Every structure is written in structure tokens, then in C-alpha cells.
């Protein structure tokens, strides 16, 4: 089961890869779902994915980076079909309306007169949710600045040439078997559940290299690894860190089915090989900076905790609003819309 995030809560606010992942030129048909909370968008996408799998097709599930229990999209590559949530914050409009994309308005199932009566309940909830997100992104902005200060200190004692020599030895036995290029996917999110990570790539990998992350050295090693792999033309999936897009959390070599992943000690236990990033540091220089590094790490942990708390608050407010919206939906109409889309997608496909 392929599971990814197509967006992230970052130091610069909400960042989306929707334009890349759901590029209309890649698909025969794209269904863009519109409508407010509680209209069944995620339910519809789960139904389509499950039905595709029951018919022998592979489904790729795109999860919401704020609420990993919810879907933002599903891709059925074997049918060249994608279905996505086109509402904010990843608002999507057709580029080739009718020719590729079709708008599906689940909001047609709303009882508008009943919803108008709920406005005094809904407006404060939605405003409070927006404020919680705003505060969370301020925390993440601070986290990004703190991480850069941290990385700057580490680079002063990072032995880049030694790391590059190790990378050369590591990848020397690998054969280039394809030219699919580079794509990006998020496998982690900072969200209402804390740090949340999907296991898609580790499950697909035939070999897993765990890059230990002593004081953040793992991310510097991943930079060295990425530069070497890119220069030699390896086909890969690059997984940025959710907070900072310039940090590389994981690299998956498609043809070789090898995963390199920054991980903690617990994650390293399940790896086929451990790359100890501390090998690539000037130990004396690192020792001199250790106190300052630890202070910076505590600061970062504190602001990340603040962001997660705000995302949890936003999630609770969204759930309240969704319950209110749910009382104003004619689910008979929703089911009829769902059945029509499913019929179109799987027509003449057994």
C-alpha cells in the first residue's frame, strides 16, 4: 500500500506538492472534489482506492499532513485516474476542464437553509481554527531559524571530504538501471498527532540504510549523499523534512530499492546497515560546541511542541465544525454522487 503526504506544515507555512503529484498531463482523468467539511470527500477516496485494489490495481493514497486520518487524494495509476481534495489549503482548479479534470461539488448535498441557522456556531470555530494554524506556523518558522543556527555550528566541524569518500565507496557497487529522474514525496508530517511518519518506503525497500542523527549530523551526511547520487544520475524519490524543505529526511533509490533514512536509535535497530554520522565530525570541535548545541536543541524541541499543540487545537476545532456540517448534509445525495463517479472510473474495467 503506497502512502505519502503531498504537502507539509513548514517553516514557511503550508507547502504543497499537488501541482507536481497531480499534474494533469500525467492522467487520463482527474476528479477534483469540492465541498465543505463533513461532505464525505475522504470517504469517497477510500472507497475508490479499496475498489481499485479489489480489482487488482495499485492505489497510491495521499494523506492529509494536518490530519493523517484523512485523505487528500488517491491515485490509480493503472487506470490513469486521480481523485483529490481541491479545497483549501490546497485549492485546485482545472487546467484542462472537461478534457482532463472534472469538478465534483459535494456541497450540492448541503441543506443550505439549515446551514445558515448554524452560522453563529460555525464562524467562531473557523476563525479560531485559522488563528491556531497561524500561531503554529509562527512556531515552525522559529524552529526553522533555530535549525539553521544549529546546522551552521555543525558544519564548522563536519568532515565533508571524509563523508564524500564514504559515500563513493557505498554507492560504487550500485548499477544504474533506469533514468526516471527525481521526484519528491513527504513521508513525515508535523501535525495534530505530533511527528507522524509513514512506512511506505521502508516497506518497499529491499535494503535499508539507517543514518544515525547525532546532533543533526545525519542531515549533513544526507546532503553529501544526495549531491553524489544526483551528480551520477540515480533515479530517486527525495523526501524533504516537513519543517525545512532543504533538509533531506530520506532518499529512496527506485531501481535498486534502497532506502537511506535519517533515524533515531530505535529506528536503526530494524535497518540492514547503520551509517554512524558521528564518524564524519571533528570530535574535538564537536565537544567544544556540545553545550551550545544542546541548548539550541532544547529551544527547537520547545517551539516544535508549541506548534504541535496548536495543530491539535486546530484539529479539535475542525472536528467540531465538521460535526456541525455533517448534520446539514443529505447523504443520500452524497451516495448518488459517489456512485456516479465510481461508475465512471471503473466502467469497462474488471
Identify whether 28 is part of a domain.
Answer: yes
Does residue 74 share a domain with residue 182? no
Residue 144 has pLDDT above 60, yes or no: yes
- What pLDDT score does 232 carry? 87
Burial 311-341 (b: 16+ CB within 10 A, else e): bbbbbebbebbeebbeebbeeeebeebbeeb
- Choice among 169-183, 202-216, 323-337 with the minimum mean pLDDT: 169-183
| E strand residue ranges, the chain | 2-5, 7-10, 13-16, 29-34, 59-63, 71-76, 81-85, 101-105, 182-184, 188-191, 194-197, 207-212, 236-240, 248-253, 258-263, 273-275
Does residue 341 share a domain with residue 277? no
For residues 62 and 45, is the Cβ–Cβ distance under 8 A? no
Does residue 163 share a domain with residue 265? yes
Does residue 178 share a domain with residue 69? no
Q: What is the mean pLDDT of residues 283-294?
A: 93
Q: What is the DSSP letter of 281?
A: B
Identify whether 337 is part of a domain.
Answer: yes
- Choice among 61-75, 165-179, 269-283, 291-305 with the minimum mean pLDDT: 165-179
pLDDT by residue (tens digit) across 59-103?
Answer: 999 999 999 999 999 999 999 999 999 998 989 999 999 999 999
Does residue 261 share a domain with residue 163? yes
CB atoms < 10 A from the CB of 185, how many? 23
Identify whether 259 is part of a domain.
Answer: yes
Q: What is the mean pLDDT of residues 49-60?
A: 96
Identify whether 178 is part of a domain.
Answer: yes
Does residue 167 share a domain with residue 83? no
Identify whether 312 is part of a domain.
Answer: no
Q: What is the mean pLDDT of residues 291-302?
A: 95
pLDDT by residue (tens digit) across 8-33?
Answer: 999 999 999 999 999 999 999 999 99
How many separate domains does the chain show?
2
- Picking from 273, 205, 284, the residue whose alpha carbon sits closest to that of residue 239 is 205
pLDDT band at 215; cut points 50, 70, 90: confident
Residue 267 has pLDDT above 90, yes or no: no
pLDDT band at 350; cut points 50, 70, 90: very low
For residue 228 the three cell numbers come to 553524489
For residue 132 the three cell numbers come to 491556531
- What pLDDT score does 338 carry? 94
For residues 101 and 95, is the Cβ–Cβ distance under 8 A? yes
Identify whether 313 is part of a domain.
Answer: no
- Picking from 184, 209, 230, the residue whose alpha carbon sits closest to that of residue 277 is 209
CB atoms < 10 A from the CB of 232, how many? 11
Identify whether 335 is part of a domain.
Answer: yes
pLDDT band at 154; cut points 50, 70, 90: very high
Which residue range is the domain that position 252 belongs to?
158-281
Identify whether 22 is part of a domain.
Answer: yes
Do β-strands 13-16 and 7-10 pair in parallel, antiparallel, or remain unpaired? Answer: antiparallel
Amino acid at each position: 500500500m503506497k502512502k505519502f503526504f503531498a504537502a507539509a506544515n513548514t517553516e514557511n507555512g503550508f507547502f504543497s506538492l499537488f501541482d507536481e503529484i497531480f499534474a494533469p498531463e500525467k492522467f487520463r482523468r482527474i476528479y477534483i472534489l469540492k465541498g465543505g467539511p463533513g461532505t464525505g470527500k475522504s470517504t469517497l477516496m477510500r472507497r475508490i482506492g479499496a475498489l481499485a485494489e479489489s480489482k487488482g490495481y495499485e492505489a497510491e493514497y495521499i494523506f492529509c499532513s494536518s490530519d493523517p486520518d484523512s485523505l487528500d487524494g488517491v491515485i490509480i495509476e493503472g487506470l490513469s485516474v486521480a481523485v483529490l481534495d481541491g479545497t483549501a489549503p490546497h485549492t485546485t482548479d482545472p487546467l484542462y476542464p472537461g478534457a482532463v479534470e472534472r469538478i465534483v461539488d459535494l456541497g450540492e448535498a448541503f441543506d443550505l437553509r439549515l446551514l445558515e441557522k448554524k452560522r453563529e456556531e460555525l464562524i467562531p470555530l473557523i476563525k479560531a481554527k485559522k488563528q491556531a494554524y497561524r500561531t503554529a506556523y509562527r512556531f515552525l518558522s522559529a524552529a526553522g531559524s533555530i535549525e539553521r543556527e544549529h546546522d551552521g555550528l555543525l558544519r564548522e566541524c563536519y568532515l565533508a571530504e571524509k563523508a564524500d569518500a564514504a559515500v563513493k565507496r557505498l554507492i560504487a557497487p550500485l548499477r544504474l538501471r533506469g533514468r526516471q529522474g527525481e521526484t519528491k514525496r513527504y513521508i513525515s508530517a508535523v501535525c495534530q498527532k505530533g511527528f507522524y511518519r509513514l512506512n511506505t518506503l521502508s516497506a518497499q525497500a529491499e535494503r535499508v540504510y539507517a543514518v544515525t542523527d547525532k546532533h543533526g549530523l545525519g542531515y549533513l551526511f544526507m546532503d553529501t549523499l544526495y549531491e553524489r547520487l544526483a551528480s551520477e544520475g540515480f533515479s530517486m524519490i527525495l523526501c524533504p523534512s516537513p519543517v525545512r524543505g532543504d533538509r533531506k529526511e530520506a532518499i529512496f533509490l527506485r531501481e535498486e530499492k534502497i532506502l537511506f533514512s535519517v533515524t533515531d536509535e530505535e529506528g536503526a535497530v530494524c535497518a540492514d546497515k547503520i551509517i554512524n554520522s558521528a564518524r564524519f565530525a571533528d570530535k574535538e570541535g564537536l565537544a567544544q560546541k556540545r553545550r551550545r548545541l544542546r541548548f539550541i536543541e532544547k529551544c527547537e524541541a520547545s517551539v516544535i511542541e508549541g506548534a504541535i499543540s496548536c495543530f491539535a487545537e486546530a484539529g479539535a476545532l475542525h472536528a467540531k465544525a465538521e460535526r456541525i456540517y455533517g448534520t446539514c448534509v443529505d447523504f443520500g445525495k452524497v451516495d448518488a454522487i459517489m456512485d456516479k463517479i465510481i461508475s465512471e472510473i471503473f466502467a469497462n474495467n474488471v
